[in-house]
Structure 1
Amino acid sequence: MADTSPRTIQLSAWQRKVAGLVQSVDELNTLVLAGGRGGGKSILLIWLIGYFALISGESLNAVLIRRDLAGLSKLEDLLFQQIPTLMPGSKYFKAKRQWKLSNDGTLRLIHMDAGDAFNKIQGEDLSHIFWDELGQEADPQVVLRARSSMRTTDPTVVPKFIATANPLGPGSWWIRDYLVTKAMPNRIFTCEFFGAQPAVWIKSTLRDNPYLSNPDQYEKELRASCFGDESKIAAEVLGEWGQVTAGFFGSCLSIERSMLPRDFQIPWYPDKTGSFTEKTKAHWCWIGGDWGTASPACVVLMCQIQEPMMVGERHIARGSWVCVDEEYVCSIQPDGSKEWNRGDRSLTAPQFVERVKKLYMRNGFTDWVIPHRRVIMDSAVTAQLGFGGHSDPVTLSTEFKKYGWQVTGSPKSSRAVGWQLMKSLLWQAGSDEPGLFISERCESLWATLPYCISDDRNPEDMEKAAPDHSADAVRYVLTAANQGQHSYRQSQRSGAHPLMWGKEEKPRRYSGGVRTFKPMPIR
């Protein structure tokens, strides 16, 4: 029979160090235990709950939140082992998931599902919020709303927010951007994101947990579960937050293979008279876009390479795609940092069109020269929002058109197929096969792609709550080009745009010799 008798937690050296920091710095508002798996973070969280329950007395009104019910049940069992030992006489009301402590303090366990945690605590004065696996929350707004209830009438109690987090969760992008990159680990700093409060994040790995019976075997199991993805191993085993090849795109995404310098320019191609014009430059360009105000709005300028070329040490094969530039509209933090998964609610259609126009102009286009059939946005822009008459339906695309910018809705296609195409191109970057390259100017792609993760229910698709707005814009273009429905019509092929998919062109002579243009099919 299993031993169910209460046991006092024995802290490891790492856990004692963190506990000492919490005990010595009373004004500390936020503590995030952010590291790899198996480091003892959840056990330390349970110890801290007991510690604050003892010192806060009747002023303790705390909640313990976790998104998944199975994880919350495990924490519930751990509390059953600790609280009766620390505070005999405490009672647990299982139906309410609430502890009534012997010193009149209160602790509730909340299963946070579908963003409803705030509804369960709204209007209450919370002295402490304990959050296990903070990285499961893809939207930080949920966390901020819960924190808005942190207040107490006891001047001797400082409200605390204490959480655990692992890299690579749905919310790892905002934990990294708002916390991890703002200060070194173990160093207290003023966190603007959490209301300019004193905060600290602390890293741990499985090697900080001496109570693992066989740490070497556990590490082998962790590495095996990563399927050889070195960046995922670095995140889960070593607790690293800075790996750019982790997440949904795995080892397909590589700075060494795919990143192009900021000064990359769209190649010029001639028309059949040998002239280089703005229209021929735009002929192989596409625009992918994703509209939003609650979520970010963005457009990505892309071009397809028609002749092999070298950029630095990178070989770009014919037929490759390059994300040249972008316009990304999102919220801005007080320190000027971009909030990659939160939109700008003040954004309007004319403002967005004006920003897109600036994107065109800084890349050498003085007009809306890229044909609207190759300006691909989320199909929601063509959804009818109201009735303005048969010839003038009320849609976002017609709203954009009022200000001179015409767009086309993205084609119907499986998301998973589009992502697989994008993965293949990223993997082929730098080889003799067509690849996908991304300029340094596309900051949102480099900032968000590493933090897009697989959907647990459909691993072939991306988690829809991930910061996928720029990735969606690229996918729309690749999907449209792959379907071949957005090329120029037959009536245009004898007109002003001679370089199109069709017959092989005759050799043309240039000062550098004779070259043959063999038009590439859209891949």
Structure 2
Amino acid sequence: MDSHGPAFRGVIARESLKGGEKLLALVHGLLRWYSKGKAKFQKVERRWTLPNGATLTFEQLGDSRSQDKLQGGDYSFLLVDDCGLVDQKLVRRVTTNLRTTAPGVHPQLVVTLNPGDRYSAAWAPLVRVRVRGDLTPVTSPDWSGQRWIIAHSSIFDNTSLTRDQREAYIRLLKADAYGRPHLEAQQIEGSWDASGGGLFSGIDLAPARLPDPTPGGSGAHLWNGQLPRPLPGAEVFLAMDWGGTVPTWCGLFWLVPQTLVIDGVRIAPDSLVLLDEVHTAMTLPSGELDPERSTGLATTREVAVMVGAMVRRWGVLMALIPLRNRVLDAAAFAQTGSSQGSIGEELGRAGLVMTPSPKGDRVSGFNLIAERFHRCNSGAPGLYAATGCRYYWTSLLAVSPHPTRQGDCTGPDHALDATAYLCRALAGGVGMTSGPRWR
């Protein structure tokens, strides 16, 4: 700021202006001290101008409308404070404005965030690359090869707090965590090892993650003697959400008939275990999945072939899976989804006969999922998924609470919706039939 003069055009952004009032006052005091009282502050624009011409503006970044206000500007510095409250897509769009033609000026992006916030999960893969104290720059393929310096901290690094203040604050955080160790680790220790936020940020998802049982997989030996091969068809369930322009997803679930212990996790009878999946999501150059974009190439016949191959991997004959165990979004049976009658009919003609999902609102299905997650490793029927189901875990941690509809979500919800269809069906959802309407 001091050396770049007018070439420094900085922005500090937060999800809400009201939530940033304390930060605004802090920056105001620092700049007045730094400039010996010569910095000018324009209250309406929330912009400071230093004697050398450098500017720093305080802006909101909470939705597409606020993002549009920043679009088209040329900035040399962007700080997004409490970034876990901001949709990462908005951050990515705003960073396209980090550009300058001034010689010697290299635009910089700085983000601060806490684990467990609404959008924190999107940052977790990057944050976990470095451990506390390791400030070695890391190159992120997901950010076009940009280099990041990751600095972990916790409440114990806040030197402005006295010991008594810190202990009082910790007591408040523990009360808020309500005895949930993973939330205490997030809020007090700044741990990113627990669930990283999103719709299920209040639930410890660690017990729900099971070793990959796929033959030849790294965790297959942990399932020896406990996972029958072939799987009995009556215990196998298929749950699908048809995507079209967004990814289609289908999961193969096993309804566990008796108690299992896998890698120290006790799985109760009637638990659902996601063993395998197929999807049409796009793979990024970094090798990571884009849970919101489809390749757009898979036809109903190709999806049916993919699902059939998945079923055969587990030694199951499709004909032995009861129709009531195959659940597809009821909307896929609407006559508007296909030139051949409906998506459901096309899949059926391709050999993948499915049953329309039960009627019910999304929130009730998500509540059933949350209940099963809560019961993992507790002796009651839970919901588990193998780590090899990459799309499931990527999208599960990327969905976020809806800003206005309580209990609903935004983001890549395709695997989540399909799982909700199945949970509602097992709970006796209204609308289940013995087979598709067109048969």
TM-score under structure 1 length normalisation: 0.70
**1:64 to 2:12 alignment:** yes
Q: Distance in 2 between matches of 1:232 and 1:169?
A: 11
Residues 87-140 of structure 1, C-alpha deviations (whole Å, 9 max, x = no match): 3444333333333433222333221232234422333322111111111233x3
Cα distance, 1:67 vs structure 2: 1.4
Matched-pair contact (CA < 8 Å) for 1:374–1:486: no
* Cα distance change on mapping 1:307 and 1:210 into 2, 3 Å: closer
| Structure 1: runs of 5 or more not aligned | 1-52, 269-277, 490-523
Counterpart residue number, 2:253: 302
User: Structure 1 residues 432, 125: CA separation in 2 closer, same or farther (over 3 Å shift)?
Assistant: closer
Which residue of structure 1 aligns with residue 145 of structure 2?
A: 196
What residue in structure 2 maps to residue 113 of structure 1? 62
Counterparts of 1:49-448 in structure 2, within 5 Å, are 53-87=1-35, 88-138=37-87, 140-177=88-125, 179-184=126-131, 185-213=134-162, 214-244=165-195, 248=200, 250-251=202-203, 253-255=205-207, 259=210, 262=213, 263=220, 264=223, 267=228, 281-292=232-243, 295-307=246-258, 316-339=267-290, 341-350=291-300, 351-367=302-318, 370-385=321-336, 393=341, 395-401=342-348, 403-430=350-377, 433-446=380-393
Counterpart-to-counterpart distance in 1, 2:269 and 2:89: 44
Distance 1:377 1:101, change over 3 A: farther
The change in CA–CA distance for 1:481 and 1:96 in structure 2 (over 3 A counts) is same
Partner SS, residue 358 of structure 1: helix
Q: Give per-residue Cα distances to partners, 1:64-84, cap 9 Å, x unaligned.
A: 221123123333323322323
Residue of structure 1 in register with 2:216 after alignment: none
Tell me the distance in 1 between the aligned counterparts of 2:262 and 2:80: 47
Indicate the SS of the match to 2:189.
coil
The residue type equivalent to 1:417 in the other structure is S
2:432 maps to amino acid: H
Aligned-residue identity in percent: 25
Q: CA deviation at 1:188?
A: 0.6
One of 401, 420, 424 as aligned partner of 1:479: 424
Matched residues in 2 for 1:62 and 1:301: separation? 50
Shift of 1:433: 4.1
- SS of the residue corresponding to residue 63 of structure 2 reads coil
SS of the residue corresponding to residue 54 of structure 1 reads coil
Whole-angstrom CA distance in 2 between matches of 1:285 and 1:318: 14
Q: 2:217 maps to which residue?
A: none
Cα shift at 1:154: 0.8
Q: Distance in 2 between matches of 1:295 and 1:131?
A: 29
Distance change (3 Å), C-alpha of 1:353 and 1:147: farther
Please say if residues 10 and 78 of structure 2, whose CA atoms lie closer than 8 Å, have aligned partners that are also in contact. Answer: yes
- Root-mean-square deviation (CA), in Å? 3.3
- Shift, 1:317, TM fit: 4.2
Pick closer, same or farther for the CA change 1:89–1:261 going to 2, 3 Å.
closer
2: distance between equivalents of 1:57 and 1:154? 10
The structure-2 alpha-carbon separation of the partners of 1:285 and 1:207, relative to structure 1 and needing over 3 Å to count, comes to same
Give the gaps of 5 or more residues in structure 2. 214-219
Instruction: Return closer, same or farther for 1:332/1:411 CA change in 2, 3 Å cut-off.
Output: same
Cα displacement (A) at 1:451: 6.3
Matched residue pairs, number?
417
**Does the 8 Å contact 1:260/1:437 carry over to 2?**
no
